[in-house]
Structure formats: C-alpha cells, structure tokens
Amino acid sequence: MEEINHSLEVFLTSGRTIEQGITLVGIKISEEAKKATAVCYLDPNDMEKLDLIENSNIKIKTSEGEIVVSARFSKDAPHEGIVFMPLGIYANWITPPGSAGIGVPQYKGIKAIISPTKEKISSVEELINKLTKSETNDTEIT
C-alpha cells in the first residue's frame, strides 16, 4: 500500500475524559493508559479528508515535536478543524509550555498538523525511557 501524503492543519485541544480519569489511579504506565490517552478525536469530515478509518494511526506535529496516536471519530461533532486529545503524556508530549508570561501551559488551541502514518504508537513506558535517555532534548526544541 502506498503511503498517503496529505496532511491537515488543525487546532488541537486537550481535556478530560472518563476513560482517562480511570487510568489516573495506579495504572498510568499501562496498556490501558495508552488505550485511553494515545487517541485523537476528529470530526467525521476531517477523517474523510485524510482517508482515515476508526483507529488509523496518525502523526500530530506541533512546535514542540510530534507524536503518533490513534484516530477516532468524535462523538462531539461537528467541530471541523478542531481535534481533541484526552489529557495525558501523549497530549503533553506536544503541548507548548505557554507564552503568556503567566507560567501556565497552552493546553487549548494549539496549532497542529495531522497526517496519516504507518508508524506505531509508543507505549507510556517507551515515552518515559525516551525522557531518561535523551541527551539531545535541547536541540529538539524549536
């Protein structure tokens, strides 16, 4: 199968979900946490634009870096151009620390580019390992 090249500019917003809330209790480093938080909810029209089906892997890119997560049809549509991720290490991986001079990160309305990918989704464990092993973090920050 050919790699699909097209991408979509969106506003990324993050927030709570019940599934994410449940994983806060003792299972933050688990397959369940990955299932609950390594996801991104898209408007059905945006899914169609990128030829995505439920649970296709997508790459989300922001000024902070990129992460691969699973695409889902949003239950809260219509919200074309806005994508939603549950709070957690995956959403935070690409969240900027905020620029309003008040020391609070920018969790909502982050400019992002989404594209379909064949890359696999990292586990929470793998993300933590990246943090401990990465000595080149400084150069990744733009």
Partner 1 sequence: MKAVKDVVCPFCGSLCDDIEVVLDQNKIIEVRNACNLGAVKIAGNEGGKRILQPLIKKEGKFQPVSYDEAAEKAAEILLNSDYPIFYGFGSTEAEAHKESIKLAEEVGAIWDHCPSVCHGPSIMGIQEVGLAGCTLGEIRNRSDLIIYLGCNPMEAHPRHMSRYTTFPRGYFREKGFQERTVVVIDIRYTETAKLANHFLQIEPDGDFEFISALRAIVNGRELKRESVSGIPIEKIKHLADLMKKAKHGIVFFGLGLATTKGKHRNVDAALSLVRDLNDYTKFYIMPLRGHYNVTGAQNVITWIAGYPFAVSLARGYPQYNPGEFSMANVFAEKEVDAAVIVASDPVGNSPRRVMDHFAKIPVISLDPYETPTTRLAEVVFPVTISGVESEGTAYRMDSVPIRLRKVKNGPKGILSDYQVLKKISKKYIQLKKRKVKDEIIS
Tokens for 12? 């990324």
Determine if 122 is a binding residue for partner 1 (CB under 8 A): no
Question: Which runs of consecutive H residues, i.e. helices, occur in 67-117?
Answer: 89-93
Question: Binding to partner 1 by residue 89, rule CB under 8 A?
Answer: yes
DSSP secondary structure letters along 4-47? P---EEEEEEEE--HHHHHTTTT-SSSHHHHHHHSEEEE-HHHH
Provide the minimum distance between the beta carbon of 128 and partner 1 in the complex, in angstroms, as a whole number. Answer: 5
Q: From the CB of 34, what's the least distance to partner 1, in Å?
A: 12
Please identify which residue in 53, 54, 102, 120 interacts with partner 1, judged by CB under 8 A: 102
Q: Name the amino acid, one letter, at 89.
A: I
Query: Rounded to whole angstroms, how far apart are CA atoms 43 and 23?
Result: 25
Q: Which window, 1-9, 20-28, 49-57, 114-122, contacts partner 1 (CB under 8 A)?
A: 20-28
> Which residues of this chain interact with partner 1, rule CB under 8 A?
11, 13, 15-18, 21-30, 32, 64-65, 74-79, 82, 84, 87-89, 92-98, 100-109, 124, 127-128, 131-132, 134, 137, 141
